[in-house]
Structure 1
Amino acid sequence: MSSVLHPVGPERRGVYWRRRLLAVLVLLAVVLLAVLGVRALTSERAAGEPAAQQIDPSQVASTLTAQPTGSPTGSPTGSPTATATTSAAVAPCEGAALSVLLTSDATTYGPGRTPKFALTVQNVSPVTCSVEVGSGMRTFVATDASGAQVWSSEDCQSSTSSQVYEVEPQSSRSMTTTWSRQRSAAGCPDGQEMVPDGTYTVTGTWNGVAAAPVTVSFSG
């Protein structure tokens, strides 16, 4: 211990003290550099790591509330009233909103040929409306030159079905029938005769509204 405080040697005491002071300074410099290096390394690690995210409980609750709810299979579920609200009923066509037209596929029919008639209901109004069409809504009647009824589509009609259709402006729906050129009577009795050759007037009505008649001729 005495040699540390009282250096002994051939040199003067001041030389030994300067050497010891230099050694202490070098040691302090090494320690300081080591401390600075550790601090720098710690700072770099801290800068590279993301800061811990603060979670707002209110945001979590909002996110959970916004999640959609569906069926267990993931299929979307619609509103039970959606179809009803998008398919509102269309008002029936009335009065001057309709035009009823009767046509035939020919005017003269030779041997074995049978006429086909079409009764067409057209919407002549500027708005869409509904029309009920079908065998239960139309009637075709044929009369001979004397005005006597010889055939009616109602006499042997096997079906009286009908259906309501939405008809846009200038659009139409047609109902057709074929006449076998055989007489008919109420109740559709068997054994009715064929009408003779000649000219016949055919009329057509839809829901009681008559169309202009057409004339057909049979020969052979």
Structure 2
Amino acid sequence: MIEPNGPLPPAVYWRRRVVAVGGTAIALVLIVLLLSWGADDSVTPSANNSGKGAVAESSPPPAGQQLANASSSSSASAEPSLSASVSAGGSSAAASSASSAASSSKPKPKPKPKPCAESTLKLLVQLGKPEYRVGERPEMNMVLTNAGQDPCVQDVSRQVRELVVTAKDSGDRLWSSLDCYPPKTNEKPVLQPGQQLSFELSWAGRTSAPGCPVNRETVPAGEYLVTAKIGKLASEPVPLRLR
């Protein structure tokens, strides 16, 4: 079977064998190529349609895998909102603390001082000297002191301040600083603890009466008392001698 036999020359038979073998090989190659193309065509739709087609044709994952995917996707979607809420809460807390710090740093307004109680005030009279000659003008000084522990408001207007001279023996009223000083003022200072106010006045040495009558007499030599008053508050009488 290997050596060609026949009436024709051996070379003819060898060429026929080569052609037959070559044709067979070509046929096999074509078959293989056709099979390969068929396989490629069957895979191509699922590869190219990786979107909707791939999802439709692919089988659903197991239930456990679905739960795991759902849990991971919900966690992933929840993380941004959680981060945002924490950030918003932190900023609001910082703003609240800054507002609290600003409000706490502001000094609170001090309460307004109340009117002075008589028990916290001390009033006294100071004379330039204890004895004057008749015709001289005795110097008198009214001193008001806040002897309390707190600031307070006191009315010391001209119409409530008064110096009074009385006879030591009889107690007769001889002169008042309010009789001949009709002008009124509005003086209501705040007295700090220990603060003093002083009001000086010189007396002409003559009598007076409410309304300041024209006929006023010179006070003769004798023993007298000088008392200071502010509203209902009165000082201790101080002796004054005229000679």
Kindly indicate which of the two structures has a greater share of residues assigned to helix. 2
Deviations 1:127-173 (A, max 9, x none): 22222213112111111232211111121113221311111111111
Q: CA deviation at 1:195?
A: 0.8
Please state whether the residue corresponding to 1:169 is helix, strand or coil: coil
Matched, 1:181 2:229: no
Q: Which runs of 5+ in 1 are unaligned?
A: 1-84
Contact 1:137 1:162 in 2 (8 A): no
Residue 104 of structure 1 is matched in structure 2 by 127
**Equivalences, count:** 135
Contact 1:118 1:175 in 2 (8 A): yes
CA distance in 2, matches of 1:198, 1:111: 9
2:160 paired residue among 126, 137, 140: 137
Please state whether the residue corresponding to 1:96 is helix, strand or coil: helix
2:180 paired residue among 134, 145, 156: 156
Q: Which runs of 5+ in 2 are unaligned?
A: 1-107
CA distance in 2, matches of 1:193, 1:158: 20
Please state whether the residue corresponding to 2:155 is helix, strand or coil: strand
Larger radius of gyration: 2
Contact 2:159 2:178 in 1 (8 A): no
CA distance in 2, matches of 1:131, 1:187: 26
How well do the aligned residues superpose, as a CA RMSD in angstroms? 2.0
Residue 225 of structure 2 aligns with an amino acid whose one-letter code is: T
Residue 197 of structure 1 aligns with an amino acid whose one-letter code is: A
CA distance in 1, matches of 2:180, 2:118: 30
Q: TM-score, normalised by structure 2?
A: 0.51
CA distance in 1, matches of 2:132, 2:186: 30
Please state whether the residue corresponding to 1:177 is helix, strand or coil: strand
Q: TM-score, normalised by structure 1?
A: 0.56
